[in-house]
Amino acid sequence: MEDWEAKQLEKFGGEIPWGPREDNRPNEDRPILVRPELEHSEAYNWIFHRKPENYRRWYQDKVTWRVLPAEEKHRSCSRRMALECGIFRTLLPEVYGDKGYQIMDAVYASFAQGEYERGKAIGLIKEPEKMGPREVAAYLLTNYDVEGWFPIVISEASNERVRTQLFVGEPEVCPYGTRCGDWRFCPNTGGWERVLTKLINPKLRTRVTKSKNCGDYCCELTVEWDDGSNPPATVITERPQAVRPELEHSETYKWVMNGESLNEKLWAAPVRYRILPWETKHSLCSKKLAAEAGCLRTMIAEVFGDEGYQLVENAYASFAPPEYEIGRARGLIKDPDQMGPMEVAKYICFLYDVAGRGVLSIVDASEESVRIQHFHGLPETCYYLTRKGDWKMCVAEAAFERELTKLMNPKLRARRTKGKVYGDYCCELTIDWDPEAK
């Protein structure tokens, strides 16, 4: 090295005037921090002493799981989380009747103010006079696209009205898994759109006008000017005869032969809305639907007490048998003697990754137990909007993992061992051998 080079370098790499911060997280279950002695790196020991490198010091490979492509992950997340919301949606009126409808409507209406303020802040919601049916529909459609309500079809679009159809085609009922035949139920899930539309432009209204659960071929939301009318339900006793259009000249023919302007409205998108990247959609979808499910289940517990908690726990437990059957059918869940703590943890980590519970941390991994941590850092509570101090809800929610683990191997158990709403720095699931199993 030249002297002038050495002199230039003297400006850098000096002594650090501060030390690492002693900041153990609340309720952390590790000993008082002990600083290690200065050592040679694995690379140094290999280069100068040919000592084998212990790569496991920096590479977590004991518990690995499938990571789906972003588009597939988004679609899977949408379906799984919709079912989680749907089970509380449908149980509220089935179990609690009128009070259930009221709670459901109130929960969805409660999301509107926050959505309105965010939309205004980022410039997507304009002044009322600039927000007609098309503009309001476009804003709603971006949210529907994020939540994966596919396929999305625009069946009518004008300055007077926009009709958006969702879930066109299969399956038999909407992906929220709700019961058939209850028309009162479906409009009460539209409280978010109803209140949000009024905030955006008080002269407009939004109504649910079709429902797969009531025999329609799709779910439909209509955004229109509010004239105060409520047209009666259409009763169709027999299918009307099809009306076929007369054969006409194409727009291209009219332009070539007659010099007429092309009517691009015949094939252009009637309502244009933002379509986000798949990774962004997955992240937003998981958070939006977690908040939706979380508010519903928290209201059930807060209003109905122990009975409500038991209903929430039973609801989560009901997801385990179909998940087990799907996993077995796909070859991802093996026979019980092949499913130890590590194998069960891999499958559950895959589910957590799909549902957007990352970043996942494996803080303990052995043939005896695995500890999976998620929801590290901000916000202060989990995305499910669970109230602080509600450890009982954390335990009730884990009924899915408890039941699924028992199905995979009756000798194992899964337990919720940390909860952010209970003062911990993360949420944690522990999978280990059940000392009470025979």
Strand partners, 372: 362, 429
Residue 418: other Cβ atoms inside 10 A:
22
- Joined together, the tokens standing for residue 339 give 């499913």
Residues 365, 342: contact at Cβ < 8 Å?
yes
Measure the CA angle with vertex 290, ends 285 and 293; round to 5°: 125
Bridge partners, residue 371, by sequence? 364, 430
Residue 21, pLDDT score: 65
CB-based contact 374:358 (threshold 8 Å) = yes
pTM for this one?
0.88
Looking at residue 128, the DSSP 8-state letter turns out to be G
- Please give the average pLDDT of every successive group of 10 residues along the chain, which has 438 residues: 88 80 64 79 91 81 89 95 94 95 95 96 96 97 94 94 91 84 89 96 96 90 94 79 90 93 86 93 95 96 96 96 96 96 97 91 94 88 90 96 98 95 91 91
Cα 163 from chain centre: 25
Q: Which two tokens stand for residue 210?
A: 């079709």
DSSP 338-402: G--HHHHHHHHHHHHHHTT-PSPEEEEESSSEEEEEES-SSSSS-TT-PPTT-HHHHHHHTHHHH
10 phi and psi, to 5 degrees?
Answer: -60, -20
Q: Which residue segments constitute the domains of the chain, with CATH numbers given?
A: 70-229+277-305 (3.30.1380.20), 319-433 (no CATH)
Q: Give the number of other Cβ atoms within 10 Å of residue 372's Cβ.
A: 26
Separation CA 135–CA 206 (nearest Å): 13
Gyration radius of the chain's alpha carbons = 28
Return phi, psi of residue 361, to 5°: -120, 130
The amino acid at residue 32 is I
CB proximity list for 152: less than 8 A, separation 6 or greater: 141, 144, 145, 164, 165, 166
Q: How far apart are CA 218 and CA 210, in angstroms?
A: 7
Torsion-angle region of residue 53: left (phi > 0), alpha (psi -120 to 50) or beta? Answer: beta
Sequence-separated (6 or more) residues with CB below 8 Å from residue 318: 87
How far lies 147's CA from each of 151, 167, 276, 293, in Å? 11, 12, 11, 13
> For residues 341 and 337, what is the distance between their CA atoms, to the nearest angstrom?
11
